[in-house]
Structure 1
Amino acid sequence: MYKPISKNLKSLQHIHFPGITSFQHGLNIQDLLMDQHLAQNALMSKIRRNPIKIDQSELKPIPPTVLTFQFENVYVSGLKSKNQISERDIQNFKSLNSKFFQLNRGGQLTWHGKGQLVTYLILNLKDFTKLSPKCYVNNILLKPLQKVLESKFELSSQFDDLNPGIFINQNKIASIGVRIRHGITEYGTSLNINPDLKYLNTFELCGLKNGKQTSIDENLNNGKADSNKDLNIETIADSYVEQIAKVLNLPDIEKVIL
């Protein structure tokens, strides 16, 4: 478990967007939060260079923020697949009524849309003890998502460093793509709850050579858990945020619905 360095950092902010959100709007909100963190980083650098001694522990840090969405249909390329997407590919995406975005985050081609929970986490790694980029990916993003699958749906899952994401029986149920700038994280995870799987299995996504994309709904209906389990996007988002707050040792969650 990781702990905040500042005694003033006690809460995790959760901003949930109900319904369907445009992908560009989600990016705009994330950019605003990133600007706040980067500005505070610049201020802290000036304070460190100032000969006047200031107790930095008394400065109020910006709380980490989790954004949870259900996006419009979009195919999104990361840096690993940036030079692999052709104009023909983009036209094929449009044939499935999906837009296309090229991002500067890690990862390869993925899809977001109805029936999928997308979670972006913006936090400063330096605000927590011993929180390296690898620990952030594995212990803050992936393992809490596994706990949600296990505790809410009795679904056992796996992940490893060679296959970024979460798998059930070699089928991918959650993807991950992050970017870290000056110690500040952006982007995050996507969890397939009950999407139309044609969007996820028509094209090769996330460099997935073997297996296919799956969902919570598909696994429940295959008899691996109670098919009457709650598949509400917001409820699952709340459970995920609670698990993240627990690992970060943040006792309070401040939720806002926009």
Structure 2
Amino acid sequence: MRVLHNREKEELKRILTQNGYGREEELISVLDAFLDVEAHLTVSEMTEHLRAKGLEYEPEFVQSALDLFCRYGLAQTKSFDGDECRYEHHHLGHHHDHLICTRCRKVEEFVDPDIEALQIRMAREKGFLPLQHRMEIYGLCSECAKDRGETVPLSEAEPGECVIVRGHVGGAEFQRRLTDMGLNPGVEIEVLNRNGGPLVVACRGSRMALGRGMSEKIQVTPVHGGGKRRRLRKRRR
């Protein structure tokens, strides 16, 4: 990898010289620090990473440097589930996909030749000419999954997650309300949204909104493997 990084720095030097860019040494130092970390960084995170290495650059310069790297194919931008734009390495001939934790926002890369081959085969079967693709799998990383118990309040389920109702911590009247809504033990529901307002779920083909107090009393367990609707996003462009 060090040989690859050195080659990419030499390529940037050549590009900067050919196109008459200023601050060449500083741009090279930013690229060197960028290649030194295997992570998906925001501009602010990259600025802090540089500061930790004793390099004080204004955020505007860091962003312009990262955008320059993207322009010449040394980096690329990613925005996961509407998050702030992040920058990652773009090594020629190296493709990977992503696992994104919806709780801590950690991003992990993975490569699977079988998945790549399947995507190509499916495109060919449909007579489709693939130009590029990306796969993003959303869920909980191993650390966040470990911290969460097997049975949790429905209010803690993640958007896109399918869960099974196991019980509740309310009384008889609360049980009657759940029965009227069809939320009986054993029923599978999907969490659609929990952004600030009511918790919106899908149950038996219908959508319903649950107040926070109600969702905190309903006990659920996850449908392992993603349930009927896996939180899997794949985009071909």
Higher relative contact order (CA 8 A, sep 6+): 1
Give yes or no for TM over 0.5: no
TM-score range, shorter chain: under 0.3
TM-score by length of 1: 0.21
TM-score by length of 2: 0.23
